[in-house]
């Protein structure tokens, strides 16, 4: 009887704790030319650089997160040219906690977006 009561107590504790940990999951896939992730909290990102002319933000949820919109093309980070997703990730890895300035092409116009310290690292390496 004590075994059943103990098992029930653990099951109840796990069931009550599950909603608190629901946002702790990130599904991620990346290659040299693409990076895709989706979090349980609804945030998501899809980057692509198939043409080698910058990193296209194919999708970002919520739109406007960190100043980025679907359709933006990241062409430089802190003045350094970015042709492929791997270039963006490599730069982020070397500057994980630094503020950075992105140069984007948005609807044919150059746009500059400043990211606070650690934001680029969090963008390419999301944590639950």
Paired tokens of 81? 């040219």
Contacts of 88 (CB under 8 A, 6+ apart): 35, 47, 55, 74, 77, 82, 124
The conformation of residue 126, written as its DSSP 8-state character, comes to -
The runs of H, that is alpha helices, within 18-102 are: 85-94
Report pTM: 0.78
Q: pLDDT tens for the chain, 128 residues: list them.
A: 544 543 433 443 444 444 444 455 567 788 889 999 998 788 999 999 999 999 999 999 999 999 999 999 999 999 999 999 999 999 999 998 999 999 999 999 999 999 999 999 988 888 76
């Amino acid at each position: 009887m004590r075994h059943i009561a103990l098992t029930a107590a653990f099951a109840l504790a796990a069931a009550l704790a599950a909603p608190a940990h629901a946002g702790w999951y990130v599904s991620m896939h990346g290659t040299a030319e693409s990076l895709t992730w989706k979090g349980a909290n609804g945030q998501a990102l899809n980057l692509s650089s198939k043409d080698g002319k910058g990193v296209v933000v194919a999708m970002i949820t919520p739109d406007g997160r960190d100043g980025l919109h679907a359709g933006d093309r990241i062409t430089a980070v802190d003045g350094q040219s970015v042709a492929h997703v791997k270039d963006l990730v490599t730069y982020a890895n070397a500057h994980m906690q630094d503020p950075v300035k992105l140069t984007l092409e948005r609807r044919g116009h150059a746009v500059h977006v400043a990211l606070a310290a650690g934001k680029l690292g969090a963008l390419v390496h999301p944590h639950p």
